[in-house]
A and B are shown apart, each in its own frame.
Chain A
Amino acid sequence: MKHSISAMLLGTALALGAAGGAVAQDKNIKIGVLTDNSGLYADLGGPGSTVAAQMAIEDSGLAAKGWKLDLISADHQNKPDIGSTIARQWIDVEKVDIFMDVLNSGVALAVNNIVKEKNSILIDTGAATSDLTNAQCSPNTIHWVYDTYMLANSTGQALVKAGGDTWYFLTADYAFGHALERDTAAVVVKSGGKVIGNVKHPLNTADFSSFLLQAQASKAKIIGMANAGGDTTNTIKQAAEFGVVSGGQKLAGLLLFITDVHSLGLKVAQGLNFTETFYWDLNDGTRAFSKRFSERMKNKAMPSMVQAGVYSGLLHYFKALEAMGGNPHDGAKVVAKMKEMPTDDPLFGKGTIRVDGRKLHPAYLFEVKKPEESKAPWDYYKLVGTTPGDQAFRPLSESACPLVKK
């Protein structure tokens, strides 16, 4: 009996030792793009995010250095339960090392918890909720591209300053819409404005006329659209129809993507102000990437900031792994390394990742061009203002994230 116990202990120790030794040499990476491949957000993330991930893998040159990289993708259908099931299966069965994109705040918050529990990695480039780096922050998650706090801070402040001091919110009725409304309302009030009402509409609504009439009746100067994707484009289109804008009220697109502007057409979208952290036509680096990206897309679309974020986030992840000399398959450890290293890529420029998982880079306030100002296909934005990375996002002093030491 004694013998067998000690033999067992020895065996375990040997197995652990062997596993420990293998870790440093392991050069396998499995990347999972979890996104909306078929619904209302599929154009701003979706298949384009997988293309961006593929490009990052090719551009990293890791394959030539003896690394083995795998890429898989799945459709979470904007349902947190489906997203969670896929996430668990990816970690337990597929041995996925890192989750990319994960748009839809509801899904993102669910996956965020699983990734933390299983010590995997989430680089979220698609979800908006600022909770990912605030109350729900995790040592395994980096929020890469934008968040509701930053959108509110940039667009909200600019509109109040321009005289839009009374607001009515049209809000998508789930985690994202609630977060965006909450963060924007806070900025409006802080800048001296007033919120006079709101209406919550179900996700993926086709007809907004009832909601727009309520917004119209409120007489607020600004109608803040705390929704995204197809919901926002339908709101804008129908607001034009019901004479909301010609009646003197202004629409605030709190979260708009270039794919939405493309879908609306400049005739309807012109004059809208909103914030993004990436635009294909910012500089030579963004133009070169976007041209290559667009050639690989079936509908020749330019990348959205979500898709650009997948590319940029993965490149930084690869750099961290290279610096570590192998893949330890230990999420928190890799994320800690990523936070240590400054970020630098052609799409978002130089930046850093904060202790709460917030990636910092400048935020740009854009205005949609008039049809006659647009010189080429996808030439849609004018740059109106830039907020530096260290001022664009929620300051650590206001953070409720347990990782932040106060």
Chain B
Amino acid sequence: MQALYAQLLVGLINGSFYALLSLGLAVIFGMLNIINFAHGALYMMGAFVAYFLLNLGGINYWWALLLAPIIVGIFGMILERTMLQWLTGLDHLYGLLLTFGIALIVQGVFQNYFGSSGLPYAIPDQLRGGMNLGFMFLPVYRGWVVVFSLVVCLATWFLIEKTQLGAYLRAATENPTLVRAFGINVPRMITLTYGLGVGLAALAGVLSAPINQVRPLMGADLIIVVFAVVVIGGMGSIMGSIITGFALGVIEGLTKYFYPEASNTVVFVLMVLVLLVKPTGLTGRAA
């Protein structure tokens, strides 16, 4: 039984990453109608920016949490301005192909210069050590990841669903022409939204840097699972992607305990089941 508690908690930690990443994807899909396959590469860039800030600029983890999302977010906005914006109104497939191509290029460039085994990034001193919870030893850093990403997820949900700015955003997705008629700069808002989604990915990258190696392929390995999370939660649903992210982390954690061999396929099995029963996803709206 004790082992089970521990696995639940570990699942929650992994769920934090799924939630943060699928949230960014959901925001981008919901507002821009783009299936952002470059998300994994941007997550990886977040981790690398944190690494460069520390090793080239001497800038610590806490600043990286703020700066890396901004830097990668700006990179994302440049992508949106120069490439993605021309795809508005076209079939989803074009956006998917373009972002997939961008992901391959970005990963290829990083791999060329940094190899595949990755670079070390140490846990910040303030978050070292761990607590003995009785049923498991919880590293402080992992606890921090869960709390921090939960806060970020809820803040994003609040921003989009409950504020004036969020209302503009949602209106602009429904009917861009009308919203433009009210004097709102819709293209700029879309660019900023893409920047926000990308920033979330970069933030997840910084959070994961001390846990995993900073590797060029860290995003490629994760992105497929995250897409499954988004599909299960319902494309474009903000709260759906947050809840599914955490829930699937837990389910995966339990699988690692009961039948470890299936731990990297369980998410996809669930995806198939959900698609068979409810094709719009658990919380998705009908297209």
A301 within 8 Å of B by Cβ?
yes
**Contact across chains for A299 and B114 when beta carbons are under 8 A apart:** yes
CB distance from A371 to the nearest CB of B (A): 12
Among residues of A, the one whose C-beta sits closest to the C-beta of B264 is A202
**Contact across chains for A206 and B212 when beta carbons are under 8 A apart:** yes
Interface residues of A in 186-210 (CB under 8 A from B): 199-202, 204-207, 209-210
Residues of A within 8 A of B122 (CB): 267
CB distance from B12 to the nearest CB of A (A): 11
**Contact across chains for A234 and B212 when beta carbons are under 8 A apart:** yes
Among residues of A, the one whose C-beta sits closest to the C-beta of B111 is A38
Interface contact tally, CB-CB below 8 A: 114
CA of A1 to CA of B107, assembled, Å = 66
**Contact across chains for A204 and B120 when beta carbons are under 8 A apart:** no
CA of A43 to CA of B256, assembled, Å = 28
Contact of A242 among B120, B139, B217 (CB under 8 A): B139
Among residues of B, the one whose C-beta sits closest to the C-beta of A170 is B260
CA of A217 to CA of B10, assembled, Å = 14
Among residues of B, the one whose C-beta sits closest to the C-beta of A48 is B115
**Contact across chains for B130 and A237 when beta carbons are under 8 A apart:** no
Residues of A within 8 A of B144 (CB): none
CB distance from B258 to the nearest CB of A (A): 10
Residues of A within 8 A of B115 (CB): 42-43, 259, 299, 301
Among residues of B, the one whose C-beta sits closest to the C-beta of A205 is B264
CA of A279 to CA of B105, assembled, Å = 34
**Contact across chains for A46 and B137 when beta carbons are under 8 A apart:** no
**Contact across chains for B116 and A243 when beta carbons are under 8 A apart:** no
**Contact across chains for B113 and A298 when beta carbons are under 8 A apart:** yes
CB distance from B61 to the nearest CB of A (A): 15
CA of A338 to CA of B229, assembled, Å = 54
Complex interface bits, B100-122 against A, C-beta within 8 A gives 1, otherwise 0: 00000000000111111111101
**Contact across chains for A214 and B116 when beta carbons are under 8 A apart:** no
**Contact across chains for A39 and B213 when beta carbons are under 8 A apart:** no
CA of A38 to CA of B263, assembled, Å = 23
| Pairs A–B under 8 Å by Cβ, sample size 29 | A38-B111, A42-B117, A200-B260, A200-B261, A201-B256, A201-B260, A201-B263, A202-B260, A205-B264, A206-B221, A206-B222, A210-B11, A211-B260, A214-B3, A230-B215, A233-B117, A233-B118, A234-B213, A241-B130, A241-B139, A242-B137, A243-B130, A263-B117, A263-B119, A263-B120, A265-B120, A267-B120, A268-B120, A298-B113
Known: A209-B13, A260-B117, A268-B120. 16 other contacts (CB 8 A): A38-B116, A40-B217, A42-B116, A207-B212, A209-B10, A210-B7, A210-B260, A211-B260, A213-B7, A229-B117, A230-B116, A233-B117, A233-B213, A234-B212, A241-B130, A298-B112
Chain A residues with a Cβ under 8 A of chain B: 38-44, 46, 173, 199-202, 204-207, 209-211, 213-214, 216-217, 229-230, 233-234, 237-238, 241-243, 247, 259-260, 262-265, 267-268, 298-299, 301
For the complex of A and B, the 5 pairs showing the least CB-CB separation, nearest first, are A210-B256, A42-B116, A263-B117, A265-B120, A202-B264
